[in-house]
Amino acid sequence: MEGSQKRLSKVPAYRPQLATLVDAPPASKDVLVELKLDGYRIGALLQAGEVRLESRRNNDWTAQFPTVAAAVKRLGAKSALLDGEVAAVLPSGLTSFQGLQNVGASGTKLVYFVFRFV
């Protein structure tokens, strides 16, 4: 995708909000809990029709997930920063890290689960 190699200047830098492993969820009703998915944590940066997908270490992953980049582009927003997980979802509804490694396998659907957006 043209322009995806450069930093999108008006979008904040991507800093993933990573989950913390705990023994039990908090008792408070005011706390949101994020499910553990077997995927890649990816930030989607959108600015003026350009999309860049970044790993948690800020590497450009746009070329690895072109369908995710295209979906983000269709949001219709002028700019946005999304934080989520790209995962392969099997027909059973479970996520599969191995399926993500072999995205072209039959019956495997790629999904971008968005946890927060700016």
**Is 25 within the bounds of a domain?**
no
The pLDDT of residue 6 is 53
The pLDDT of residue 104 is 66
The pLDDT of residue 10 is 54
The pLDDT of residue 105 is 62
**Cα gap 59→31, rounded to integer Å:** 30
CATH number where 69 lies: 3.30.470.30
Tokens of 83: 């934080």
**Is 33 within the bounds of a domain?**
no
**Is 109 within the bounds of a domain?**
yes
Sites in the chain below the pLDDT cut of 70: 1-12, 17-19, 34, 104-107
Closest-CA residue to 21 (of 29, 33, 4): 33
Global confidence as pTM? 0.75
**Is 5 within the bounds of a domain?**
no
Domain count, the chain: 1
Helix (H) or strand (E) holding 101: helix 97-101
**Is 64 within the bounds of a domain?**
yes
Enumerate the active-site residues.
Answer: 36
The residue segments making up the domain with residue 85 are 39-117
